[in-house]
């Protein structure tokens, strides 16, 4: 088994599928009730239905630009087949959204490879309150459960609670945490974490970072310093810069994504709290707008409720009746 065969996901287990279906329930109810209202009394997909569909998608937090793309695709399908009725609208939507996600690099990760990096370094970024610490803990737990040696660096040293929370997760899941006193240099914590990971032969390093949304220059400088210091130990670190976003904030999550992608080279996204919101459509909009893979989604409170993003399973669940 390769180091990251954990991520070479096969078909979803029944438990994973059930968690996904349950987690998307609020989004699905919101979405379908609006679609049903849009096509009420209509037998064909006419201009009025398309206008209503546009409103449904925008109010489901898919975003204006992405909504226009989807509606245009549906319009082209209808133009090719004059006999398409409103009863087929859901299937058309599902197919077009899946295709859009595929074009935007949000694949299902069933054959995703990390390569031979050891240690593999993940730097996690995001504002306070989005579920960053919980995501780190759940990810570390999943990796540990598959036999990998994981260490977490508590480099959010500006908030005592952040270090405490990471240490509690470490104790709970049996993963080593490297921490320093509150107010310590975050780059120093990252350096010590990587140095000890190399010395101990650990497989994965997960580095937490400060959750304050600074001005762009301050944020960029801080994250760049952490990266530069880590590269003194592992020259190509970090291999993954994971931005954690709270799906329940809808369009605000898109604004946060804009800020962080301008500040650093984000190459993976985690969308949390999908189970508590009707705004799950933001997953589609963020993927389309930023062309960054949505890699993880949080669909519940349990350790196993952090899932690898599978675009087909996600969209199928969204349209499941």
Q: Is the pTM of this model over 0.85?
A: yes
Q: Which residues of 64-88 are buried (b: 16+ CB within 10 A; e: fewer)?
A: eebbebbbebbeebbeeeeebebee
Q: Which residues of the chain have pLDDT under 50?
A: 1-4, 6, 9, 108, 110-113
pLDDT tens digit sequence for 42-98: 788 888 889 989 998 998 889 899 999 999 999 998 888 766 777 788 888 889 998
Q: What is the pLDDT of residue 112?
A: 34
- Residue 85 pairs in a beta bridge with 44
User: Where in the chain do CATH 3.40.50.300 domains reside?
Assistant: 120-309
The pLDDT of residue 285 is 92
Residues of the chain with CATH 1.20.120.140: 16-103
> Can you tell me the distance from the alpha carbon of 53 to that of 58, in angstroms, rounded to the nearest whole number?
9
pLDDT of 105 reads 60
d(CA 131, CA 246): 7
| Predicted pLDDT of residue 90 | 83
CATH of domain 120-309: 3.40.50.300
Q: What strand order describes the sheet that includes 268-272?
A: 176-178, 150-154, 204-208, 120-125, 240-246, 268-272, 294-298, 306-308
Neighbouring-strand partners of residue 259? none
Just give the CATH number of 16-103.
1.20.120.140
Please report the pLDDT score of residue 3 as a whole number. Answer: 44
């Amino acid at each position: 088994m390769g180091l990251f065969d954990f991520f070479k996901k096969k078909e979803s287990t029944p438990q994973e599928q059930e968690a996904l279906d349950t987690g998307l329930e609020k989004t699905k109810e919101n979405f379908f009730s609006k679609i049903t209202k849009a096509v009420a009394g209509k037998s064909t997909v006419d201009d009025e239905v398309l206008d209503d569909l546009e409103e449904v998608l925008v109010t489901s937090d898919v975003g204006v630009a992405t909504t226009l793309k989807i509606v245009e695709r549906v319009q082209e399908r209808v133009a090719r087949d004059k006999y398409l009725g409103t009863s087929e609208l859901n299937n058309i939507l599902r197919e077009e959204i899946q295709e859009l996600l595929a074009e935007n690099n949000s694949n299902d990760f069933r054959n995703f490879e990390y390569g031979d990096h050891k240690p593999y370094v993940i730097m996690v970024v995001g504002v306070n309150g989005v579920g960053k610490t919980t995501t780190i803990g759940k990810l570390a737990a999943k990796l540990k459960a598959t036999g990998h040696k994981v260490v977490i660096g508590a480099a959010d040293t500006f908030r005592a609670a952040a270090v405490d929370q990471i240490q509690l997760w470490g104790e709970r899941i049996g993963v080593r945490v490297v921490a320093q006193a509150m107010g310590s240099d975050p780059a120093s914590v990252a350096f010590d974490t990587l140095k000890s990971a190399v010395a101990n032969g650990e497989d994965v390093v997960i580095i937490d970072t400060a959750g304050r949304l600074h001005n762009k220059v301050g944020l960029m400088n801080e994250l760049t310093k952490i990266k530069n210091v880590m590269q003194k130990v592992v020259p190509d670190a970090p291999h993954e810069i994971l931005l954690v976003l709270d799906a329940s904030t809808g369009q605000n999550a898109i604004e946060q994504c804009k800020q962080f992608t301008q500040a650093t080279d984000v190459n993976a996204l985690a969308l949390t709290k999908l189970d508590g919101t009707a705004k799950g459509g933001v997953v589609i909009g963020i993927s389309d707008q930023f062309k960054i893979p949505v890699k993880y989604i949080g669909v519940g409170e349990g350790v196993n409720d952090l899932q690898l993003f599978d675009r087909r399973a996600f969209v199928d669940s969204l349209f499941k009746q």
